[in-house]
Amino acid sequence: MDIADEIMHQHGEQRRMFAVLDGIDRDDADSLAAIWNRLAVLLESHAAAEEKFVYPRLLRSGDGPPGEDGPKDETKDAIKDHNQIRDAVRRANDEKPGTDAWWDAVRDAREANSDHMGEEERDDLLDLRRNIDLAERHRIAVDFLVYQAKHPGGVDRDDRDPDAYVAHPS
């Protein structure tokens, strides 16, 4: 097991869940709410687990994306992305599923998440694979999955200050 592979797997699941929403009748608020609630928990627990297990490790051992300023900037960008996703999830959770305002928030969550996943897959996972050996990536993956399993209903949804996080990663 490799945390880079697990993150890729969960990214695929996130993409699939957004696509499931696309296929549900816009008037079926109960179905939209059920799928959204599951997706929101996945987005939240994924971001929290990355912040708890992946980014602290990249801060210690990563190089950062090629041609960039290093793992601190890489991590700050990821935390900012997670905050944008959290903000959109909170907005969607405050709206009635199926309404225009709800769909707007879901679209914002999808766009922020898609942008984040692309950057992470291109840069952060490369950094993991290049600088952290497979045995350590395995340990991170186990910790990541155990954390998510212990939080099946979701996690803290509060934004994090990127600078404070980099100074004191959790």
Ranges of residues in the chain whose predicted pLDDT is under 70: 65-68, 170
Residue 98's SS3 state is coil
pLDDT at 105: 98
Q: Report the pLDDT value the prediction gives residue 141, as an integer from 0 to 100.
A: 98
Provide the pLDDT for residue 145.
Answer: 98
CA distances from 19 to 12, 113, 131 (A): 11, 13, 34
41: tokens are: 């928990």
What confidence score (pLDDT) does residue 117 get? 97
Model pLDDT, residue 135: 98
pLDDT, position 67: 65
What pLDDT is recorded for position 166? 87
Q: Pseudo-torsion of CA 15, 99, 41, 30, nearest 10°?
A: -100
pLDDT given at position 35 = 98
